[in-house]
Amino acid sequence: MGAVKLYKYLDFNGGLMMLHYSNLQFTNATQLNDPFDCHPSLIDFSNVPKEACGGWTPEIIEELRRDPFRRTREEVWICSLSKIHDSILMWSYYSKHKGICIGLDMEKAQKYLSRIHGKIMIGCSAVEVQYKDIVEKPDYFRDAKDFFHYQLSTKAKAWEHEQEVRLFILDPWPTYMSLLPGQNDDKYVYIGISSTMK
């Protein structure tokens, strides 16, 4: 993951809730601030080669290939963390510099984020966000990419100041999440609140 410590910026109430319950806030990708975040439009599906049609129209194939990425965006939940705790822009997003930034020791936190329960892996995955010119889209049919991770980890260069690392989980449900152990261990959390300037 690179950084040992990562930071979660929250408004004051959100920060208190995180500390009280010793958990992490995940947000559905469709509700993120950036409307292009995790959006299928990050990928160009329009150049359908003839050999991929198999008797169908290019338009149908385009929709068939795009649809799994649309569903992924609806099903994925993201916890956005940052490598930095002292970004003025980041502080400005949360209650006019009066929010909370909670530092996480990821070496300690990682053991709580994913566990094997029986034969099932429970938890989330981490990915470092890559900032790109999103106008230049990779071609789904011609570029050799892991498009799943590309969709989840690509943001416009305008957001580069966030230095984001994100945790993600697909389609979580309460029983599944309750199997994650040690969620009340808050020894790896510390808090920083911006001071009020007068």
Q: Where do the structural domains in the chain lie, given as residue ranges?
A: 5-193
**pLDDT tops 60 at residue 30:** yes
Query: How does pLDDT run across 129-144, given as a tens digit for each residue?
Result: 999 999 999 999 999 8
Q: How far apart are CA 155 and CA 151, in angstroms?
A: 9
DSSP-assigned beta bridge partners for residue 58: none
**pLDDT tops 80 at residue 172:** no
Residue 192's nearest CA partner among 76, 37, 84, 107 is 84
DSSP-assigned beta bridge partners for residue 154: 130
Q: How far apart are CA 131 and CA 60, in angstroms?
A: 31
Residue 113's nearest CA partner among 24, 27, 12 is 24
Q: Which SS3 state, helix, strand or coil, does residue 142 take?
A: coil
Q: Please give the model's pTM, rounded to 2 decimal places.
A: 0.82
**pLDDT tops 80 at residue 174:** no
* pLDDT band per the 50, 70, 90 thresholds, residue 104: confident
Please tell me the predicted confidence (pLDDT) of residue 78: 93
Please tell me the predicted confidence (pLDDT) of residue 179: 45
Q: Which SS3 state, helix, strand or coil, does residue 33 take?
A: coil
Please tell me the predicted confidence (pLDDT) of residue 186: 40
**pLDDT tops 90 at residue 163:** yes
Residue 38's nearest CA partner among 8, 83, 72 is 72
Selected residue with higher pLDDT from 169 and 187: 169
Selected residue with higher pLDDT from 112 and 158: 158
**pLDDT tops 70 at residue 197:** no
Q: Please state whether beta strands 154-156 and 27-28 pair in parallel, antiparallel, or not at all (unpaired).
A: unpaired
Mean pLDDT of the chain: 82
Q: Which residues contact 71 (CB under 8 A, 6 or more apart)?
A: none
Please tell me the predicted confidence (pLDDT) of residue 24: 81
